[in-house]
Amino acid sequence: MNNKEENKDYFNHYPEYEEDIIVINVPSGKVPERIDTYLSTLIKNASRTRVRKSLDEGMIKVNEVVVKKASHKISGNDVIECIMLRRPPIKLIPQDIPLDIVYEDNFLLVVNKPAGMVVHPGVGNRYDTLVNAMLFYLGIEDEIEIEFEKEDTDDDLINDQGKIYASDEVRPGIVHRLDKDTSGLLVIAKTTEVLSQLQSQFANRTVSRTYIAITWGTRLDDEGSIIGNIDRSPIDRKKFAVSQKSGKYAKTNFRVIERYSIASIVELKLETGRTHQIRVHLTHKNHPIIGDEVYGGNINNYKGVKGELNNLAKFIISRSKRQLLHAKDLQFIHPKTNQLMQFSSELPEDMQNVINILNSSSILQK
């Protein structure tokens, strides 16, 4: 992709901010309050960070005088004029994107998502998602606009994407999701009723999901469970980590399928469904998924090893353009027929290639 195409793609995903002009007449008798706190509470979808940006840029006036300090106290009968910046709403546009449909009936579909495809629109991914593809496939022609509530911090971005993911306006019904660079099976509801019933199965943990990961390291037990609350990392808010003091309970069951000199093939079953759960739990066990740049799997974990193993690690990294994680098996009860539905997906080519490299270049560990 050339620079011109890259710039076009960037601006499509991150369009220019739009201005909202808001005039507020503060009620008489109002107790003095910081302007950033007052506006972030009063104005819909305005965080304190966004208010402070507007203050810094001279976009807020009190009684016709520009105010730049967040600590400025407003009082009764003040007139506040604000220019608030926001990204335009996301438009869910049907797009003709090929889909690997494993199963379909009048109520639901099961698709095999490729690595690199985002499940639903969000900040930085306004189109080319699974939702865009499904809208086209199902013949839904109406464009749907979704407004982001906030865009100022990493927490806000994650929260808003979650709301889009769960929104009743988003059809088809995305029941669960996979990370962009995780491949594999997803079930999608065609009706609101089926969506609700499938969501209940996920909430009640009656859905079985089995993943295959290729990890660095060979010292995992043959099988077991990784239990550890998952919360946002205190060091990098874009990442998650196992926490002893906070977060949500998470449990991942695992079984080692094969061990090589520097890597393992691991089968994993989720008992909970936290964000990045498998990736975080395996990293916590010092077995990051190969290719996972967020959690350290894209670096040479064998820097202290010289010779053949070091060269092998470097070669594998060069062939791993994403985290080597695949949602292989999916099992649930059909909401309408009550039949047990079971689906399995072959490992994608990039994962199989790395396994072939390990098989041909590495000594199996017993």
Q: How far apart are CA 204 and CA 108, in angstroms?
A: 19
- Top CATH class of 17-86 equals alpha beta
- pLDDT tens across 28-80, in order? 989 999 999 998 888 876 777 878 888 888 989 999 999 999 999 999 999 99
How much is the pTM? 0.75
- pLDDT tens across 299-335, in order? 877 666 667 888 888 899 999 999 999 999 999 999 9
Domain made up of 90-203: CATH architecture = 2-Layer Sandwich (3.30)
Contact 28, 76 (CB under 8 A): yes
Mean pLDDT of the chain, nearest integer? 83
Tell me how crowded residue 254 is: count the other CB atoms within 10 A of its CB: 25
- Name the active-site residue from 78, 179, 181, 292: 179
The pair of structure tokens assigned to 130 is: 């699974």
- What pLDDT is stored for residue 362 in this prediction? 57
Q: How far apart are CA 79 and CA 75, in angstroms?
A: 9
First-to-last CA distance in the chain?
A: 45
- What pLDDT is stored for residue 27 in this prediction? 93
- pLDDT tens across 89-125, in order? 667 788 899 999 999 999 999 999 999 998 877 666 6
Q: What is the DSSP string of 2-44?
A: -HHHHHHHHHHHSPPPEEEEEEEEPPTTPPPEEHHHHHHHHST
- pLDDT tens across 122-153, in order? 666 677 889 888 888 888 765 556 555 444 44
- Top CATH class of 208-361 equals alpha beta
At which residue do the structure tokens 């995903």 appear?
Answer: 13
20 is catalytic: no
Q: How far apart are CA 320 and CA 313, in angstroms?
A: 11
Q: Which residues belong to CATH 3.30.2350.10 in the chain?
A: 90-203, 208-361
Work out the average pLDDT over 218-230: 94
143, with CB counted inside 10 A (0-12, 13-18, 19+), is exposed
* The dihedral sign for the CA sequence 148, 149, 155, 158: negative
Tell me how crowded residue 12 is: count the other CB atoms within 10 A of its CB: 11
Q: Is the peptide bond before 94 cis (omega within 30 degrees of 0)?
A: no
